[in-house]
Amino acid sequence: MSQTTFETDLKMPETAAAGRVAPQAGRVWRKSAGRGSTLAAHGQPMVWLAGGMLAICVVMIIGLVLLVTVRGMATFWPGPLVSFVLADSQVVSGEITRTSSYQPRPELIEALPPEHRAKAEALLAANEGFAHRDLVRTGNFELDGDHFSWVSDFTVTETRFPQWGLVMERLTWGRFYGEPRQFMIDGRVVADSPEAAWEEFKKYHGEVRQRWRERRQLESKALGKINHAQEKARLKVREAELALQRARLSHGRNSAPYLAAKEELGRQEAIYNENNQLFAAQYEEVRARINDLNRENDRYQLRLATYDGREKVLGLAEVVRAYPANQVSLINRVGIYLDRWLEFLRDDPREANSEGGVFPAIFGTVVMTLIMCICVVPFGVLAALYLREYAKAGPLISTIRIAVNNLAGVPSIVYGVFGLGFFCYLVGSSIDELLFASKLPSPTFGTGGILWASLTLALLTLPVVIVATEEALAAVPSSMREGSYASGASKWQTIQRIVLPRAMPGIMTGMILAMARGAGEVAPLMLVGAVKLAPELPIDGFAPFVHLERSFMHLGFHIYDLGFQSQNSEAAIPMVFTTTLLLILIITLLNLGAIYMRNRLRKKFVVSAI
């Protein structure tokens, strides 16, 4: 087996007396990589260790993404409706959402009726003491007071799949499970069998929902327009009152400015009183149309029976979606699944955020992230330019760099407290006193809003952009700067035309890192603008059209609210996974857009350099 030998060019002289090689400085050094050497000598264990750690990290990331994807995608799939009859004659009906195995306590077995106890003991013995249980989404909250119930297999005496079991998704109180009994119009029964009642429901439900949407449009748009005009007139009266007070304090009661301000106040009050009559007439007209729509919808009702013998009358306007769960074909299930996804992406949340859509949260997340990037990139790039290109090395610059690096490790909640104190209470309150004094004591900018949240997260991600930009600037070869100077360009011209364009891919990398971190932050947002429910978007038809002072919804805060503030954590778990999946997708899309821009810039400047 051949060996590789490395020898020095220095030869060792031979001594005439001894006739052998003398140990002098010019000795021959030999190092063999063959037999007798160890893996540690070549660093192979560290290579395998590093590769193994990378593989573990990749597996963990893939596992997490797969878990969120599978659980999130399965949330809206319509399952069958099951009715369990228990040993104590209780009936539990609903959709099975999760299954598990556990070891029941002995007192649970002893609590069973004697005729069922032996069967339960035999079942547990066959499964080595383990029992199977299902988490059933029971619905009917206004009747049962619970959203979910665990059902163990040893307590079940009968399992049914009712043919006409309906799943009714409602605006309030969550889902309702039951069988249709009668369909009524104006209190008169027009169908008194499950099949006929269901056919009548399908016949009228579409037009009822159309009227409901028209009513919502009138409430949100028409009444909102009237209220905005009325509030605008009231603020003009308030501004005239403040002007009168300032004139009295500055010039006295008998001065010309005071009399002019008093006259203006009287004129604004007259306009306000005159407009109030017009606003009242418009309000009554819209309200009359809303009442007509409500009366028309109230004509249609469906009587249902639960599986424990109770009845419930539902108005068709309350029902968002309904289907006979045990008669739905695969194609119809796919249709229901896609319809639920569309509702999730484009509608407002309902039922304590556990149902409905998250469109306001999607909008708030995207807008806040974009505003944050617009704010943080210029500041970060300018700071890095000064530190790298203009500032002279010294104790001050070293201190600034240490401070920037330390800021990257400050807990995000600290930034939230700073944003609340500085942006909201100091800057925002000053803006209110200068520009919105007529609205005080109700704050406009002096409270949390999407602008202050974006600026707070811009401060949080600023160190990331500064460090990444400095590294990108340092990577530009000095020869390119020297060539620019040799051509007669000034320092700023060199930076503008040579350094910055070639550092742009690195700057975009810093923006991507800042975007990825800022979009998922929750703690600062809890203090500076994110709220549980804000269905109205910060964009409307009233000037200035974009209202950055308003509170907003955020997907990260929405996940926190579902997981820890929901009235029923079990009901919220499926939506937590679905909302998490959506947040990951949105951040990925934003990052992919930035990566695409970075790659185009990189190709452009690589080609120009060639």
Look at residue 449 and tell me if it is in a domain. yes
The verdict on residue 23 lying in a domain is no
Nearby residues of 419 by Cβ (< 8 Å), 6 or more positions away: 452, 453, 455, 456, 459, 524, 527, 528
Domain presence at residue 74: no
The answer, yes or no, to whether the previous bond of 544 is cis (omega within 30 of 0) is yes
Q: Do residue 405 and residue 486 come from a single domain?
A: yes
Q: CA 217 to CA 215: how far, in whole Å?
A: 5
- pLDDT score at 598: 84
Same domain, 432 and 541: yes
Model pLDDT, residue 604: 75
Quote the pLDDT of residue 405. 86
Query: With a threshold of 0.75, does the pTM exceed it?
Result: yes
Q: Is the same domain home to 309 and 264?
A: yes
Contact of 166 with 87, CB cutoff 8 Å? no
pLDDT computed for residue 1 by the predictor: 43
Judgement on whether residues 329 and 433 belong to the same structural domain of the protein: no
Domain boundary among 337, 364, 387: 337
Could you say which of 114, 148, 177 is where a domain stops?
Answer: 177
Find out whether 467 and 434 touch, Cβ atoms under 8 Å. Answer: no
The CATH code of the domain that includes 475 is 1.10.3720.10
The answer as to whether 499 is a domain residue is yes
User: How many domains does the chain divide into?
Assistant: 3
* E-assigned strand segments in 351-461: 355-356
Q: Are 173 and 142 in contact (CB under 8 A)?
A: yes
Torsion, Cα 203 209 214 220, to 10 degrees, reads: 180
151 plus 250 within the same structural domain: no
Last residue of a domain, one of 130, 152, 177: 177
Rounded-to-integer distance, Cα 275 and Cα 233, Å:
8
The verdict on residue 77 lying in a domain is no
Whether 305 and 360 map to the same domain: the answer is: no
Say which CATH number the domain at 97 has.
Answer: 2.30.30
Contact 415, 423 (CB under 8 A): no
Give the pLDDT score at 39. Answer: 56
Low-confidence ranges of the chain (pLDDT < 50): 1-33, 610
The verdict on 591 and 515 lying in the same domain is: yes
Residue 124, domain member (yes or no): yes
Could you list the residue range(s) of the whole structural domain that residue 298 is in?
A: 188-337
Whether residue 394 is found in the same domain as residue 275: no
Is 145 in the same domain as 200?
Answer: no
- Alpha-carbon torsion (117, 119, 122, 123), positive or negative: negative
Same domain, 117 and 248: no
Regarding whether 108 and 141 lie in a shared domain, the answer is yes
235 belongs to a structural domain: yes
Residues 402 and 310 in one domain: no
Report the pLDDT value the prediction gives residue 60, as an integer from 0 to 100. Answer: 95
